[in-house]
Amino acid sequence: MLDGNSTQARIASQANAFKVAAIQMASGPNIEGNLAEARRLIAKAAEQGARLVVLPEFFAIMGLHEQDKLKVSEQAGSGPIQTFLSETAKHYKIWLVGGSIPLAGTAPEKVRDSCLVFDEHGEQVARYDKIHLFSLSLGNESYDEAATLESGNQVVVVDSPFGRIGLAVCYDLRFPELFRAMKDVDIIVLPAAFTETTGKMHWEVLVRARAIENLAYIIASAQGGYHVNGRETHGHSMIVDPWGRILDTLTRGSGVVIGTINPSHQASLRSSLPALKHRVLHNC
C-alpha cells in the first residue's frame, strides 16, 4: 500500500502529464481525399484528448510519380495544404505537426520536404526542411530523393507548452548527430514514409535507439500500407518513452496512435541516468 506522501507524488506526477497522437495514413495522389482523411483522424485524436498531434511525411500527397509533388508544391505561407493545417489546428485547439509537405525550393525542378508546426491558434511556429535525402538501390527497388528534393541545412527545435520539441523527417532517423545537435529536447517528432524493405529491419530499432540515447519521447508518425503508385510503406507508427518503451503502435493502415507524455517521469529518468551530462566527445 502506498503511503500518503507517495500517493501525493504520484498524483502530482500525473497532473502534468498530457496525451499526444501519431497519425498513420496510406496517402494517395488525391490531395482533397488525403486532407479529408487527415482531418478525420485528427478529430479522432482530439476526441481522445491529444494536445499534440503529428501527421506522417507527405500526408497530403503520395503521387503516381515522384515529380507529382512538384506540381502541387506551395509557396511558404500560402496554399491549400498550409491553410488546412492552420485551420485544423485552430479548430481543434491543438498543436499540429504537419508531417511534411512540398514547399517551393530555390530550383524550379525541386521542392523542399518541409515539416511545419502550428499552435492551437493556427499560427505557424516552426518550419524544418528535411536535411538527409534518401537513396536506395536494392534489387528491383530504387529511390533517389535528391532528384526531386532540395536538402535543408538547419537543425530546428521549437519551444512549446509541452517542452522543447525537435523536428526530424524519415531518413534523418539514421543520423544520430542530428538529434545530438538539437540539444536537450524533451520530445522528438518524426514524420516518415519508411519503405517496407528497410522498415521491417531498421525502423523500430532506430526509433527506440534515438529515444534511449536522448532520453526523449519520440512521436513517430508513418505512412503505412500499399499506395496507388505501387509503393509499400512500413507503417508501425509509434510513441516511445525515454526508456525505449513503446507506449502505443499501429502496424498498418490509417489510424491513430495515442500515448501519454509524463515530464516528471522523464525528469526522474534523466536524474537516475544522467547520460546526457556524461557526454565527452561533444564535437564528434
Point out the residues that are catalytic.
57, 130, 170
Which residues, at least 6 apart from 216, have a Cβ–Cβ distance to it below 8 Å?
A: 166, 179, 185, 186, 187, 188, 210, 242, 266
DSSP string of 86-145, one letter each residue: HHHHHHHT-EEE---EEEE-SSTT-EEEEEEEE-TTS-EEEEEE--S--EEEETTEEEEG
Distance, CA of 95 to CA of 226 (rounded, Å): 29
Q: Name residue 87's amino acid.
A: E
Distance, CA of 67 to CA of 111 (rounded, Å): 10
Distance, CA of 206 to CA of 48 (rounded, Å): 28
